[in-house]
Amino acid sequence: MTAATGTRRHFALTENLIGYGTMLLIVGVLVAFLIAPVGVILVKAFRGPDGFTLDYFRLLFQNELHMEATVNSLALGLVTVIATTIIALPLALLNAKLEFPGKPLLTGLLLMPMVMPPFVGAIGIQRFFARRGVVNLLLMKIGLTDAPIEWLEGTRIFWAVAILEALHLYPILYLNLTSALANIDPSLDDVADTLGVSKWKRLKDITWPLARPGYFAGAIIVFIWAFTDLGTPLLVGYQQALPVRIFNMISDVNENPMGFALVVLVIVMTLVVFFVSKLALAGRKYEMLARGHVTNRVQKLSFVGALPCYLLLGLVILLAVTPHLSVALTSFSDNWFMTIVPEHYTLEHYHQVLATELPMIGIKNSLLFSGLSTVVDLFLGVLVAYVIARKVVPFTGLLEGVTMMPLALPGIVLAFGYVVTFTGTPLDPFINPMTLLIIAYAIRRLPYMVRAATAGLMQTSRSLEEASMVFGASRFMTLRRITVPLIAANLVAGCLLCFAYAMLDVSDSLILAMKDQYYPLTKAIYALFLEQGRGELTASALGVLGMILLAICLLGASRVLGKKMGELFRS
Amino acid sequence: MEVVFERIVKKYGDVTAVGGVDLTIKSGALHFLLGPSGCGKTTMLRMLAGLESPSSGRILFNGKDVTNLPAAARGIGMVFQNYALWPHMTVRKNIEYGLTVQKLAAEQIRQRTDEALTITQLTRYGDRLPGQLSGGQQQRVALARAIAVRPTVLLLDEPLSNLDAQLRLEMRDNLSRIHKQLGITTVYVTHDQKEALSMGTNVSVFRAGQLIQTDPPRQLYHSPKSAFVARFVGETNLLSATYLGQKDGLHSVRTAIGAVDANRSMVNAKSGDEVVVSFRPEAVKLNIGGHDSPADNRLSLKLDHLTYLGESEQFQLMGPDGTLVRANVFNPPDHSLAIGDSVTAWVAAEDILVLPVETDQPAST
The superfamily in CATH containing domain B3-226 is P-loop containing nucleotide triphosphate hydrolases (3.40.50.300)
**Domains of chain A (ranges plus CATH)?**
11-39+349-571 (1.10.3720.10), 54-285+314-341 (1.10.3720.10)
Find, among A249, A218, A499, A258, the residue nearest to A378 by Cα. A499
Q: Give percent above pLDDT 70 in chain B.
A: 96
**Buried b / exposed e across B111-137, counting CB within 10 Å, b at 16+?**
ebbeebbebbebeebbeebbeebeebb
The verdict on B64 touching A (C-beta cutoff 8 Å) is: no
Mutating which of B12, B52, B80, B99 best tests the A interface, going by the most A Cβ atoms within 10 A? Answer: B80
CA distance B203 to chain A (A): 24
Measured between beta carbons, which residues in chain A are less than 8 angstroms from residue B67?
Answer: 4, 7, 11
Report whether pLDDT(A325) > 70.
yes
The pairing of strands B185-190 and B30-34 is parallel
Compute the distance between CA of residue A258 and CA of residue B30 in angstroms, rounded to an integer: 78
Compute the distance between CA of residue B100 and CA of residue B77 in angstroms, rounded to an integer: 14
Angle at the Cα of B106 from the Cα atoms of B104 and B108, rounded to 5 degrees? 65
Report whether pLDDT(A206) > 90.
no
Residue A345 is classified by DSSP as: E
Angle at the Cα of A551 from the Cα atoms of A545 and A557, rounded to 5 degrees? 145
Average predicted confidence (pLDDT) for chain A: 80
What pLDDT band is residue B186 in, cutting at 50, 70 and 90?
Answer: very high
CB count in 10 Å sphere of residue A314: 12
Give just the sign of the alpha carbon dihedral B172, B178, B182, B187: negative
Measured between beta carbons, which residues in chain B are less than 8 angstroms from residue A482?
Answer: 86
Residue A427 is classified by DSSP as: T
CB count in 10 Å sphere of residue B264: 16
Greater pLDDT, B337 or B22: B22
Give just the sign of the alpha carbon dihedral A212, A387, B48, B177: positive
What pLDDT band is residue B364 in, cutting at 50, 70 and 90?
Answer: very low
Lowest mean pLDDT among A58-72, A175-189, A341-355: A175-189
Average predicted confidence (pLDDT) for chain B: 90
Q: Are A89 and A177 in contact (CB under 8 A)?
A: yes
Compute the distance between CA of residue B65 and CA of residue B4 in angstroms, rounded to an integer: 9
Give the pLDDT score at A289. Answer: 46
By CB atoms closer than 10 A (0-12, 13-18, 19+), residue B320 is exposed
CB count in 10 Å sphere of residue A181: 19
Residue B204's Cβ-side half-sphere holds a number of Cα atoms within 13 Å equal to: 25
Compute the distance between CA of residue B345 and CA of residue B331 in angstroms, rounded to an integer: 17
Report whether pLDDT(B359) > 70.
yes
Query: Could you tell me the CA-to-CA distances from A499 to A117, A187, A411, A504 in Å, in that order?
Result: 14, 39, 16, 9
For A247-290, write each residue's pLDDT tens digit: 888 777 666 778 888 888 888 888 888 788 777 765 555 554 44
Asked if B68 lies within 8 A of A11 by C-beta distance, the reply is yes
Query: Could you tell me the CA-to-CA distances from A81 to A223, A280, A486, B24 in Å, in that order?
Result: 6, 17, 38, 67
Q: Are B27 and B1 in contact (CB under 8 A)?
A: yes
Report whether pLDDT(A561) > 60.
yes
Asked if B76 lies within 8 A of A474 by C-beta distance, the reply is no
Nearest residue of chain B to residue A488 (CA atoms): B88
Greater pLDDT, A397 or A426: A426
**Buried b / exposed e across A529-551, counting CB within 10 Å, b at 16+?**
beeeeebbbbbbbbbbbbbebbe
The CATH architecture assigned to B235-355 reads: Beta Barrel (2.40)
3-state secondary structure labels for all residues of B258-297: EEEEECEECCCCCCCCEEEEEECHHHEEECCCCCCCCCCC
For A285-314, write each residue's pLDDT tens digit: 555 444 444 455 567 777 787 888 889 899
Mean pLDDT of B8-37: 93
The verdict on B76 touching A (C-beta cutoff 8 Å) is: yes
**What is the value of pTM for the model shown?**
0.73
Mutating which of A471, A475, A478, A487 best tests the B interface, going by the most B Cβ atoms within 10 A? Answer: A471
Measured between beta carbons, which residues in chain B are less than 8 angstroms from residue A468?
Answer: 86, 97
Report whether pLDDT(A8) > 70.
no
Find, among A270, A183, A264, A258, the residue nearest to A221 by Cα. A270
User: Which of A427-431, A495-499, B35-39 is predicted most confidently?
Assistant: B35-39
Report whether pLDDT(A355) > 90.
no
Asked if A470 lies within 8 A of B69 by C-beta distance, the reply is no
The pairing of strands B237-247 and B210-215 is unpaired
Compute the distance between CA of residue B285 and CA of residue A455 in angstroms, rounded to an integer: 61
CB count in 10 Å sphere of residue B221: 19
* Segments making up each domain of chain B, as ranges: 3-226, 235-355
Measured between beta carbons, which residues in chain B are less than 8 angstroms from residue A10?
Answer: 68
CA distance B58 to chain A (A): 8
* Contacts with A, B 27-56, CB within 8 Å: 49-51, 53-54, 56
Mutating which of B11, B59, B88, B156 best tests the A interface, going by the most A Cβ atoms within 10 A? Answer: B88
For B281-310, write each residue's pLDDT tens digit: 999 988 886 666 666 788 889 999 999 999
- CB-CB: which of A12, A467, A474 is closest to B84? A467
β-partners of residue B305 are B316
Give the pLDDT score at A6. Answer: 39
Compute the distance between CA of residue B24 and CA of residue B4 in angstroms, rounded to an integer: 4
Measured between beta carbons, which residues in chain A are less than 8 angstroms from residue B81?
Answer: 463
Find, among A505, A550, A427, A557, the residue nearest to A114 by Cα. A550
Give the pLDDT score at A407. Answer: 76
SS3 A51: strand
Report whether pLDDT(B318) > 90.
yes
Tell me the H-state helices in chain B: 41-49, 91-101, 106-119, 135-148, 165-182, 193-199, 217-222, 227-232
Asked if B145 lies within 8 A of A471 by C-beta distance, the reply is yes
